[in-house]
Amino acid sequence: MTEEFAPTEPSQGLPGVAAVFTLIAVALPWMAATPGSQTIPGYRTLHGLLAAVVALVVLVAVVADPADRRTEVSLVGGAVVAILALARYVTLGGGFAAGLGLYVTFIAGLAMVAGGILGR
């Protein structure tokens, strides 16, 4: 009976929490114009949409899949999210600076990778 109520390891929930933070970060500004107050949220960019789709896949894998698939999906998905955020950061141009959502997405991608590594 005690096995039913045994707490899970923190590394099992880390990819799920990071995926939720990625979904929130996609709604935050990814690009902010330096001269004015114009901002562009992540969901209006291709990189942001792809990061949201990958975060949804990781979230579904964490909730529904068995433990062996959860770590693989979170490891690969986190790497993809971090690379997408880094690629968007590198390709910023036209007077735009990186917004808060871009940084949060990159850190959440790294957290998904860490959860995949710790869950092995």
Q: Is residue 69 classed as helix, strand or coil in its secondary structure?
A: helix
Q: Classify residue 110 as exposed, middle or buried by CB count within 10 Å of its CB (0-12, 13-18, 19+).
A: middle
Mean pLDDT for all residues in the chain:
83
Quick one: which of 111, 103, 100 has its CA closest to 78? 111
Q: Which neighbouring-strand residues pair with 7?
A: none
CA distance 24 to 63: 18
Residue 6 binned pLDDT confidence (cut-offs 50, 70, 90): very low
Q: Is the pLDDT of residue 92 over 60?
A: yes
**pLDDT at residue number 50:** 94
In the numeric block, which tokens belong to residue 112?
A: 């998904």
Give the model confidence (pLDDT) of 16-50 as tens digits: 899 999 999 999 988 887 666 678 888 888 999 99
Backbone angles phi, psi at 3, to 5 degrees: -70, -25
pTM to 2 decimal places: 0.83
Cα 3 from Cα 119, distance rounded (Å): 19
